[in-house]
Amino acid sequence: MPVIVQVNYWAVLTCGLISIVIGSLWYSPMLLGRTWMDEVDKTDDDIKKDFNPLKTYGLTFICNLFIAFSLAQLMAHSNASTVAAGIRLSFLCWSGFIAAPMVVNSLFEGKSFKLLLVDSGHHLIVILVFGIVLGAWTA
């Protein structure tokens, strides 16, 4: 049975909050929101239709807390207790557990390479920031 090690829950909470900010900026019209909308063939009206911000942002926040907690566990188990080690482990997790499955899904779903870059780029930035925050908080 896996052992759950002690993590800094303030760091995990901070990661969850930061992820919402990053996502809001990344997918805003100022950055890549319009590109994303074009690639998923959605209009502003489509996005607003049946949109429940509490559900969407709430579940996104909870999922990102789980990602940050999981990364904190991996960092503790691998003795990654610096910012540099957090970045390395985050990149490894992103490439193996996020980007690779996203490429497979993208191929089978016939999604564009541009959409893959937008979405996987978002996850890369988020998990790298998680590694920085968790590494800095344990260093």
- Cβ 89 vs Cβ 131: under 8 Å: yes
Neighbours of 46 (CB within 10 A): 12
- pLDDT, tens only, 25-50: 999 999 999 999 999 999 999 989 98
Q: What is the pTM of this model?
A: 0.93
- Looking at residue 6, its pLDDT comes to 83
- Looking at residue 1, its pLDDT comes to 60
Residue 88 has pLDDT above 70, yes or no: yes
For residues 69 and 88, what is the distance between their CA atoms, to the nearest angstrom? 17
In the predicted model, what is the mean pLDDT of residues 81-87?
96
- C-alpha distances (whole Å) from 25 to each of 18, 22, 30, 64 are 11, 5, 8, 16
- Looking at residue 61, its pLDDT comes to 98
Measured distance between the N- and C-terminal CA atoms of the chain, rounded to whole angstroms: 28
Residue 17: CA count within 13 A, CB half-sphere: 7
